A = this chain, B = another copy of it.
């Protein structure tokens, strides 16, 4: 079983509006609501690949209950940890020409709630084959929390992936995660100056087992204990890059539970990321694109 941890679970809402009046009354023609947050997207991809997954994280209030209900409707097994604050909603308002995103500030998490979650997480680790730690942290959760959670997993022999930005990414190597997955911009912020290879090597030097840098259409760079590899894409997939990183992380998580060599892991992860671009919704990938691009990816 692969556990995905999303400390800042969200309800992702989309309003489709036929031509928006930004200073008037708009009739919403279609509403979509689904559980969101990067770990949820990773779990959706893993479940679509037939893997056992478990979604955990912090959820509270009416929005938290809506998130839990959607996970149930999607048949994604979950064991969320309840908090007092109301979980955040992210809203996308979209017409033919524009998309405006509105991100709520989300709940404040207390120290007691976080301590309760860590206990809950330790219980869940029993029987876990790998842990995925991804996404932003809600207010009140310290920046070294992913390092803490990765270290707890490592202490029990459970490999982990961290997909984070900013301070949580900078702290992450302290927990000795198996893999860090920044994109090129996130890496440049965490380790300013130098090439992506130098930045990745620096994060490895601080404790990460491997660092995989996603570079969009330019593919992947992996600095690992077995060596450094690049995955180059044979062509560019057009579509929506939102969620491509989560699909890629799902591919890397598979590499933690199956004894494939790094070049094979990287090929699969790169193909899953590209196949997600072909789908408009995060957490999905196009199996035809996957099948087509997978053998053509160049690993060096």
B17 and A20 within 8 A (CB): no
- How far does the alpha carbon of A181 sit from the alpha carbon of B265 in the complex, in Å? 69
Q: What residues on B are CB-neighbors of A65 within 8 Å? A: 62, 65
Within 8 A of B (CB), among A29-52: 29, 31, 33
- How far does the alpha carbon of A33 sit from the alpha carbon of B66 in the complex, in Å? 15
Query: A93 contacts the other chain (Cβ, under 8 Å)?
Result: yes
- Tell me the nearest residue of chain B to A21, going by C-beta: B100
Query: A101 contacts the other chain (Cβ, under 8 Å)?
Result: yes
A102-110, A118-126, A200-208, A292-300: which lies at the B interface? A102-110
Q: What residues on B are CB-neighbors of A103 within 8 Å? A: 25-28
Q: Copy number in this complex?
A: 2
Q: Nearest-CB distance from A23 to chain B (Å)?
A: 4
Interface size class of A (residues with CB under 8 A): 20 to 34
B26 and A100 within 8 A (CB): yes
B93 and A102 within 8 A (CB): yes
Query: A1 contacts the other chain (Cβ, under 8 Å)?
Result: no
Q: What residues on B are CB-neighbors of A25 within 8 Å? A: 101, 103
A101 and B24 within 8 A (CB): yes
A17 and B62 within 8 A (CB): no
A22 and B22 within 8 A (CB): yes
Q: A20-B22, A22-B22, A23-B98 are in contact. Are A104 and B62 (CB under 8 A)?
A: no
- How far does the alpha carbon of A106 sit from the alpha carbon of B214 in the complex, in Å? 41
A105 and B22 within 8 A (CB): no
Query: A91 contacts the other chain (Cβ, under 8 Å)?
Result: yes
Within 8 A of B (CB), among A81-125: 86, 91, 93, 97-105
B20 and A100 within 8 A (CB): yes
Closest CB pairs A-B (n = 3): A62-B66, A23-B98, A25-B101
